[in-house]
């Protein structure tokens, strides 16, 4: 069994896609052992509860400084003894120490085709606002391993989504989620659980 910790900040639709993927058998040999949110009000915590998964909040507001928060977050992750950490709409940069201790065992979903519209300041709706402002015709989502940079780790999988005339950031976000994110993330976790994903020299290969 692949033990997975999912880190969230908001609505948790990507978390839900993983929960549903496991329930429906599309994601095999995988168990979500803990959901961690930095935001006590995250609806994702409610989704975890409804699925019978332990949900824990580690909020930066409860700590005197960033390094104490990061230490508490890492501690909370390690208590659950995960094989894989999934950042599913987690609006906190993974602490360097966590990245070091879980090298190539942390994945993130980003709502664009990296390297477009990624890095500092590009998260959530802002990504889609930037894509529409630039007038791109195709956008999408990316699942990648997390390294010490911002959205710079090895890319595992990407899926393109067409931009439509009249799209708003909200309609585009919804379509990128439905057509790309909720498909890619469970798929990647299933491949990792099956041992089919390898990282070599910063490049990912997927075994058939």
User: With binding defined as CB under 6 A, does residue 189 bind ligand GAR?
Assistant: no
CA 27, CA 86: separation in Å to the nearest integer?
A: 14
Min dist CB 195 to ligand GAR, Å, is 25
Q: Which residue is nearest to ligand GAR (CB)?
A: 89
Min dist CB 191 to ligand GAR, Å, is 19
Query: Which among 159, 155, 167, 163 is positioned nearest to 197, based on CA atoms?
Result: 155
Query: Which among 119, 128, 107 is positioned nearest to 177, based on CA atoms?
Result: 128
User: With binding defined as CB under 6 A, does residue 123 bind ligand GAR?
Assistant: yes
What is the CA 178 to chain-centroid distance, rounded? 15
Query: Smaller CB distance to ligand GAR: residue 11 or 194?
Result: 11
110 flagged as catalytic: yes
Per-residue CA distances from 144 to 39, 61, 136, 137, 147 (Å): 23, 28, 22, 23, 9
Residue 6, number of CB atoms within 10 A of its CB: 30
Angle between helices 125-134 and 169-176 (to 10 degrees): 110
Min dist CB 200 to ligand GAR, Å, is 25
Q: Which of 110, 176, 188, 192 is catalytic?
A: 110
Specify the DSSP class assigned to residue 62: G
Query: Smaller CB distance to ligand GAR: residue 50 or 68?
Result: 50
**What residues from 103 to 122 belong to the interface with ligand GAR (CB under 6 A)?**
109-111
Q: Which of 86, 143, 181, 193 binds ligand GAR (CB under 6 A)?
A: 181
Q: Report whether 71 contacts 43 (CB < 8 A).
A: no
**What residues from 9 to 38 belong to the interface with ligand GAR (CB under 6 A)?**
10-14
Q: Which of 21, 55, 82, 89 binds ligand GAR (CB under 6 A)?
A: 89
User: With binding defined as CB under 6 A, does residue 177 bind ligand GAR?
Assistant: yes
Would you name the residues annotated as active-site residues? 110
Residues that bind ligand GAR (CB under 6 A): 8, 10-14, 44, 88-89, 109-111, 123-124, 127, 177, 181
């Amino acid at each position: 069994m692949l033990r997975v910790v999912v880190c969230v900040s908001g609505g948790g639709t990507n978390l839900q896609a993983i929960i549903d993927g496991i329930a429906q058998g599309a994601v095999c040999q995988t168990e979500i052992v803990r959901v961690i949110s930095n935001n006590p009000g995250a609806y994702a915590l409610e989704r975890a509860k409804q699925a019978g998964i332990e949900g824990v909040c580690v909020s930066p507001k409860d700590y005197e400084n960033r390094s104490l928060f990061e230490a508490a977050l890492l501690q909370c992750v390690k208590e659950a003894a995960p094989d894989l950490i999934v950042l599913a709409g987690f609006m906190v940069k993974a602490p360097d120490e966590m990245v070091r201790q879980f090298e190539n065992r942390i994945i993130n979903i980003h709502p664009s085709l990296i390297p477009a519209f990624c890095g500092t300041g590009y998260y959530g709706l802002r990504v889609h606002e930037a894509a529409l402002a630039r007038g791109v015709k195709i956008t999408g989502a990316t699942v990648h391993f997390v390294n010490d940079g911002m959205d710079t780790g090895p890319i595992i999988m990407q899926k393109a989504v067409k931009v439509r005339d009249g799209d708003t950031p909200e309609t585009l976000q919804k379509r990128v989620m439905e057509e790309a994110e909720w498909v890619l993330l469970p798929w990647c976790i299933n491949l990792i659980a099956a041992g089919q994903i390898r990282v070599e020299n910063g490049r990912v290969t997927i075994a058939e």
